[in-house]
A = this chain, B = another copy of it.
């Protein structure tokens, strides 16, 4: 029941009869560099193994300024999209010898600031952040302060902050083109109010593809608020379906797509009989809904792994100030929610 006393460097040193410095040198693999005798190296390593020594990271960190801790700030860890990312970040970080600390910003920039402060204070070696609206200056100041930092899922193109995200323009270009090829013309888009680049890129992808296909007159971008989404979504969909006689809707995020499904179910609008739709990111609902939902698949594995790779690289070469940009390509998963439109 009593707390086992931890084995210290000193304990190992005493057991071999040498200084703690020597043990530290040997266990850090610098024996050659400090020309420690081979037999001595062997003795020390053996003793350390037998005594089951493991260094106190806090002490090591205080001395060296490194914690092998990575901070991950997402908007909401309970959002399956971000928890999926978290899992991959965790795996990759572990492989590289890091442990992950996470926090949720709730899309709020003051929260983000608070969380970053806390994490830096805990001594994290670097940060992976899903930035939220209005956080650009804040994030820039962290980056300017030479804290290793990588944005994920979203980015600030005007800055020299590294990021790993989806090629968002391509995502909606793909979906829009698919819908056009299926014969739809009156195609609307539902996004949300934000100045964040990932959403703006998705909107551009839709608009430019529509324009290029000569469907400019049908371009309709509806934006709902992130709070009170359900009510706003109902109104938006009511307008699109009943007033605008829209043939297909593209939802810009998973959450919007699922909320959209709830509303359409309430309105007793059938998919795809009454309207075609495209979602974003995988969701069991998309497969189990009466019709399977066509959606964009993000290569999460790649996006998250790249973010960690870039970050760890920055941590290890903090003297270099390189902007790494990783755009991953989206895939279109075609379901039965976007069938070929029957000609009149």
Contact A57 B101 (CB under 8 A): no
Contact A2 B100 (CB under 8 A): no
Q: How far is the CA of A117 from the CA of B69 in the complex (A)?
A: 15
Can you list, as one digit per residue, whether each of A63-107 has a CB less than 8 Å from chain B (1) or not (0)?
000011100000011111011101110110010000111111000
Contact A262 B283 (CB under 8 A): no
Contact B90 A77 (CB under 8 A): yes
Known contacts A56-B121, A78-B80; can you find 5 more A-B pairs with CB under 8 A? A56-B123, A78-B86, A86-B102, A100-B102, A283-B284
Q: Does A288 contact B (CB under 8 A)?
A: yes
A261 contact from B54, B56, B145, B288, Cβ within 8 A: B288
Can you list, as one digit per residue, whether each of A143-157 has a CB less than 8 Å from chain B (1) or not (0)?
011100000000000
Contact B118 A99 (CB under 8 A): yes
Q: With a CB–CB cut-off of 8 A, which chain B residues contact A265?
A: 288
Contact A80 B77 (CB under 8 A): no
Q: Does A47 contact B (CB under 8 A)?
A: no
Some 21 contacts from A to B, beta carbons below 8 A apart, are A1-B144, A1-B146, A3-B145, A4-B145, A54-B117, A56-B121, A56-B123, A57-B122, A58-B61, A58-B67, A69-B122, A77-B77, A77-B87, A78-B88, A82-B83, A83-B83, A83-B86, A90-B103, A100-B102, A102-B102, A284-B285
Give the residue name and chain of the B residue nearest to A114 (CB). Answer: B94
Contact A100 B99 (CB under 8 A): no
Q: How far is the CA of A102 from the CA of B100 in the complex (A)?
A: 6
Q: With a CB–CB cut-off of 8 A, which chain B residues contact A216?
A: none
Contact B83 A99 (CB under 8 A): no
Q: How far is the CA of A73 from the CA of B86 in the complex (A)?
A: 13
Q: Separation in Å of the A185 CB from the closest CB of chain B? A: 28
A107-121, CB < 8 A from B: 117-119, 121
Contact A146 B99 (CB under 8 A): no
Can you list, as one digit per residue, whether each of A246-267 has a CB less than 8 Å from chain B (1) or not (0)?
0000000000001001100100
Q: Does A37 contact B (CB under 8 A)?
A: no
Contact B67 A78 (CB under 8 A): no
A121 contact from B57, B77, B94, B102, Cβ within 8 A: B57
Given contacts A83-B77, A86-B78, A285-B288, whether A122 and B99 have CB atoms under 8 Å apart is: yes
Nearest 8 interchain pairs by C-beta: A83-B83, A78-B87, A3-B146, A78-B84, A58-B62, A58-B123, A284-B285, A78-B83
A90 contact from B79, B88, B104, B144, Cβ within 8 A: B104
Give the residue name and chain of the B residue nearest to A261 (CB). Answer: B288
Q: With a CB–CB cut-off of 8 A, which chain B residues contact A239?
A: none
Q: With a CB–CB cut-off of 8 A, which chain B residues contact A58?
A: 58, 61-62, 67, 123
Q: How far is the CA of A54 from the CA of B59 in the complex (A)?
A: 19
Q: Separation in Å of the A163 CB from the closest CB of chain B? A: 19
Contact A99 B119 (CB under 8 A): yes
Contact B104 A87 (CB under 8 A): yes
Q: With a CB–CB cut-off of 8 A, which chain B residues contact A101?
A: 69, 99-102
Can you list, as one digit per residue, whether each of A277-288 has a CB less than 8 Å from chain B (1) or not (0)?
000000111011
Q: With a CB–CB cut-off of 8 A, which chain B residues contact A261?
A: 288
Q: With a CB–CB cut-off of 8 A, which chain B residues contact A83?
A: 77-80, 82-83, 86
